[in-house]
Amino acid sequence: MVGSVMNSGVQGIQRGYDMLNRSADQIAKANIPPEQGGPEELYTPMTEQISGKVQVQASAKVVEAASETLGTLIDIKV
């Protein structure tokens, strides 16, 4: 159970970093015309930066809670 929660947290962190990387790529292309691969607008990637950050922070808290729970379970069994 704790292992699956830990895995979910790690996957959430990875998804958050993926979101951050994709949106950062779009922001970096801001000076490129849309016909050449640049973004149509910047509000979506900028909003995704905030969402990605929150995703990573929330998932890190899940990993932290799972780690503390695992530590508590090990302490009880010892």
CB 39 within 8 A of CB 76: no
Which tens digits make up the pLDDT trace of 1-47? 667 888 999 999 999 999 999 999 999 999 999 999 888 999 999 99
Q: What string of DSSP letters covers 13-67? A: HHHHHHHHHHHHHHHHTTTS-GGGT--S-SHHHHHHHHHHHHHHHHHHHHHHHHH
Of the pLDDT bands very low, low, confident and very high (cuts 50, 70, 90), residue 70 is confident
Task: State pTM to two decimals.
Answer: 0.80
| 7 SS3 class | helix
Domain extents in the chain? 2-77
Instruction: Let me know the angle formed at the C-alpha of 29 by 27 and 32, rounded to the nearest 5 degrees.
Output: 140
pLDDT of residue 75: 61
| 78 SS3 class | coil
